[in-house]
A = this chain, B = another copy of it.
């Protein structure tokens, strides 16, 4: 057995970093059917890696979609059981032409590893398993009881996770969930997440004529689907950026003065946030800081629009149809199904004369999630992060959504503590996603410390 966990991690640094690159090369894009085989390869890679780490029971839980990699290592009687959650799937890489190096060929530049999934969240997945391996190598077994649940459909809204959790209810009993799907405030500043936004989404399909038309013959006299969609899309916000859907804010709970103060304590200024995003002006609901809007105010987001001719040159067509992908990020107390209905109602009520509106790709949706501040595993996370980073973590209300946390609560009664290592500006869900090589070391050390703290 090795002398210390850190010594073991240091000795295996090169191999461990290479393993990360190996997983990044598997394009486990869950959205697109043509990558289904790659997603399965990703699952198999994770399964083999768990076995190699010493996890005694490992299997794939099959679903109607992509499989869950499941494992248990319960060898610490009297200690808590932690259900480790994360996902091995990634977002699509398009638009491909904006990547400076191939999305699935990890490339090192200036200490950063560029690849789809590097920050979200193959780094966390790989380093957590490596930390477990190191703990077991030094102590004979992990110092807490661990159950692993790595899903392959997080990036498409976890459509089959609930079913898998319900079917394996017994085997998933634990004290809390440790989600690896998160990030830190900065290279030397930890964050402790206390809430995640919910989400719902759909596609608006608008039609103005039975077929595309010659713009010279009809453009002056009939509705243009693109003009109608522009009008409809614009109606979703007022001129100041506030969502203009009737009833949208009805169930939103305002932050308390203490909660606002916590968010105001974040070291990142609004100007820094804009610079990090590469934008020249802020936008969004008036009356709230950027951090408040990001973490505690619901949004309507346009994710895609298309219609008519997109090629080089000119095509003088009056398009018959236009499409808009809309998602809404939700805060606690908002019901995804209700918001989905409000979006539909708004679209139908604001469809211009001559435009027919229908909906497709309607997401099931998930509510927001809040971690109770007094959960013991959350308190331990705060203590370990304070020790590891040398200062208290900033309190984070995530603008992102990990819908499965609400499912863990509903089905298993478990709260979720989040520890992950991606940094702001790492182009998650965008071209040129990156993760700092040195944060692989940090992640392994912090995960090992957390799992040893009980």
Query: Contacting chain B: which of A124-132, A161-169, A320-328, A408-416?
Result: A320-328
Q: How far does the alpha carbon of A229 sit from the alpha carbon of B398 in the complex, in Å?
A: 27
- Is there an interface contact between A313 and B211, defined as CB atoms closer than 8 Å? no
**Residues of chain B within 8 A of A77, CB atoms compared:** none
> What distance in Å separates the Cβ of A434 from its nearest Cβ neighbour in chain B?
11
Q: How far does the alpha carbon of A282 sit from the alpha carbon of B222 in the complex, in Å?
A: 5
> What distance in Å separates the Cβ of A331 from its nearest Cβ neighbour in chain B?
10
**Residues of chain B within 8 A of A322, CB atoms compared:** 305
B interface footprint on A287-308 (CB within 8 Å = 1, 0 otherwise): 0001001100101011111111
A256 contacts partner chain B, Cβ-Cβ < 8 Å: no
**Residues of chain B within 8 A of A280, CB atoms compared:** 354, 356
A445 contacts partner chain B, Cβ-Cβ < 8 Å: no
**Residues of chain B within 8 A of A18, CB atoms compared:** none
- Is there an interface contact between A32 and B283, defined as CB atoms closer than 8 Å? no
A231 contacts partner chain B, Cβ-Cβ < 8 Å: yes
- Is there an interface contact between B313 and A303, defined as CB atoms closer than 8 Å? no
* Cβ contact of A304, chosen from B283, B302, B315, cutoff 8 A: B315
Q: How far does the alpha carbon of A214 sit from the alpha carbon of B294 in the complex, in Å?
A: 11
- Is there an interface contact between B428 and A217, defined as CB atoms closer than 8 Å? yes
> What distance in Å separates the Cβ of A297 from its nearest Cβ neighbour in chain B?
6
Query: Contacting chain B: which of A20-28, A87-95, A103-111, A375-383?
Result: A87-95
Within 8 A of B (CB), among A31-45: 31-33
Beyond A213-B430, A230-B230, A293-B220, whether A156 also contacts B306 by CB under 8 A is no
- Is there an interface contact between B308 and A429, defined as CB atoms closer than 8 Å? no
- Is there an interface contact between B208 and A429, defined as CB atoms closer than 8 Å? no
**Residues of chain B within 8 A of A19, CB atoms compared:** none
B interface footprint on A217-254 (CB within 8 Å = 1, 0 otherwise): 11111111011011101101100000000000000000
Chain B residue with the shortest CB-CB distance to A308: B304
Beyond A220-B294, A222-B282, A284-B220, whether A430 also contacts B211 by CB under 8 A is yes
**Residues of chain B within 8 A of A400, CB atoms compared:** 214, 216-217
- Is there an interface contact between A226 and B305, defined as CB atoms closer than 8 Å? yes
If over half of A's interface residues share one DSSP class (helix, strand or loop), that class is named, otherwise mixed; here it is loop
- Is there an interface contact between B315 and A283, defined as CB atoms closer than 8 Å? no
A145 contacts partner chain B, Cβ-Cβ < 8 Å: no
| Stoichiometry (number of copies) | 2
- Is there an interface contact between B315 and A310, defined as CB atoms closer than 8 Å? no
* Cβ contact of A220, chosen from B95, B210, B315, B399, cutoff 8 A: B399
Within 8 A of B (CB), among A350-395: 353-354, 356, 361, 363
Query: Which of A211, A307, A329: most chain B CB closer than 10 A?
Result: A211
Query: Contacting chain B: which of A66-74, A78-86, A186-194, A270-278?
Result: A270-278
Query: Which of A201, A226, A314: most chain B CB closer than 10 A?
Result: A314
A454 contacts partner chain B, Cβ-Cβ < 8 Å: no
> What distance in Å separates the Cβ of A289 from its nearest Cβ neighbour in chain B?
9
Q: How far does the alpha carbon of A324 sit from the alpha carbon of B301 in the complex, in Å?
A: 19
* Cβ contact of A219, chosen from B224, B231, B301, B356, cutoff 8 A: B301
A212 contacts partner chain B, Cβ-Cβ < 8 Å: yes
- Is there an interface contact between A303 and B314, defined as CB atoms closer than 8 Å? yes
A341 contacts partner chain B, Cβ-Cβ < 8 Å: no
- Is there an interface contact between A354 and B283, defined as CB atoms closer than 8 Å? yes
**Residues of chain B within 8 A of A217, CB atoms compared:** 294, 399-400, 424, 428
28 contacts between A and B (CB under 8 A): A31-B313, A32-B311, A92-B311, A92-B315, A94-B309, A199-B316, A201-B314, A210-B278, A213-B430, A214-B430, A215-B303, A216-B401, A217-B399, A221-B274, A221-B282, A224-B301, A226-B324, A227-B236, A230-B302, A281-B354, A301-B316, A303-B308, A303-B309, A304-B309, A304-B319, A314-B327, A315-B429, A317-B430
Residues of A within 8 A of B (CB): 31-33, 91-92, 94-95, 98, 156-157, 197, 199, 201, 208-224, 226-227, 229-231, 233-234, 236-237, 270, 273-274, 277-285, 290, 293-294, 297, 299, 301-320, 322-325, 327, 329, 353-354, 356, 361, 363, 398-401, 424, 427-432
Contacts A227-B233, A230-B231 known; list 16 others, CB within 8 Å. Answer: A214-B429, A216-B399, A216-B400, A218-B277, A220-B294, A221-B270, A221-B290, A223-B283, A224-B283, A230-B305, A283-B353, A301-B316, A303-B308, A303-B315, A303-B318, A306-B310
